[in-house]
């Protein structure tokens, strides 16, 4: 049982660190935009990683001076989220563990693709296609994992957490469907599909760490 808590704690730390690095990298990269300024509700997240300054895409003028920061964050996010989930998956068994592991690795590969292949229309057409495929895989797999986490009791977290997990995962997938509704809100809907698993990562990580730190004290008091 001690070994299980160790793996869960490590996974929790990785998930929280990953969410923080994304939010910080996104804010830094968005802040580097000068003309035009970056708007979270209007601009896609992928705009932050486009290396071509002044390019026009779907009515948006893109110029991201710190694109390398965001592309590095895309790839780091894929790897860290996959590692964090794989560590949590050690608490699972059988088919469920295999499914969770496959989804985690697929998500990681997807976001490494997002960081390597930029969302710019100025490059070869296959580059943008690979970027979109990677993003789709990453977003769908991550939100599916979040929903699955809410249906599992292996993490030994309370029922309100499980309800939260399923709800935020479903909302993440639904939010992605709204990206094409309006160009003025595309960025907001896209973020709904990404921030869902980042929020889940922080909540899951904090709850697991709090529980695992509290348990040794409970055991010690019981022995006294």
Model confidence pLDDT, tens digit, residues 171-189: 999 999 999 888 889 999 9
Q: For residue 105, what pLDDT band results from cuts at 50, 70 and 90? A: very high
Looking at 16-25, 54-63, 73-82, 208-217, which range is the least confident one?
Answer: 208-217
pLDDT reported for residue 37: 92
| 94 Cβ contact list (under 8 Å, min separation 6) | none
Q: Give strand pairing partners of 56.
A: 61
CA 111 to chain centre: 9
Residue among 136, 159, 139, 142 nearest 207 (CA) = 159
* Mean local confidence (pLDDT), 126-136: 94
CA angle 185, 191, 195 (to 5 degrees): 155
pLDDT reading at 193 higher than 80: yes
CA dihedral for 25, 27, 28, 31, sign (positive or negative) = positive
């Amino acid at each position: 049982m001690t070994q299980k808590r160790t793996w869960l704690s490590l996974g929790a730390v990785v998930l929280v660190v990953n969410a923080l690095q994304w939010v910080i990298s996104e804010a830094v990269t968005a802040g580097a935009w000068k003309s035009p300024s970056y708007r979270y509700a209007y601009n896609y997240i992928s705009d932050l990683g486009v290396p071509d300054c002044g390019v026009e895409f779907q009515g948006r003028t893109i110029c991201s001076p710190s694109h390398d920061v965001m592309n590095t964050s895309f790839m780091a996010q894929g790897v860290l989220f996959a590692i964090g989930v794989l560590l949590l998956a050690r608490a699972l068994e059988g088919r469920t563990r295999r499914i969770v592991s496959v989804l985690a690795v697929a998500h990681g590969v997807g976001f490494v693709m997002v960081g390597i292949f930029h969302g710019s229309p100025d490059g070869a057409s296959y580059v943008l296609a690979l970027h979109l495929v990677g993003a789709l895989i990453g977003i769908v797999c991550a939100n599916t994992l979040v929903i699955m986490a809410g249906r599992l009791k292996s993490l030994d977290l309370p029922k309100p957490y499980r309800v939260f997990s399923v709800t935020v995962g479903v909302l993440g997938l639904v939010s992605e469907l709204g990206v094409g509704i309006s160009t003025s809100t595309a960025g907001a809907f896209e973020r709904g599909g990404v921030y869902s698993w980042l929020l889940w990562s922080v909540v899951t990580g904090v709850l697991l760490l709090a529980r695992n730190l509290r348990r040794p004290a409970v055991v010690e008091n019981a022995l006294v």
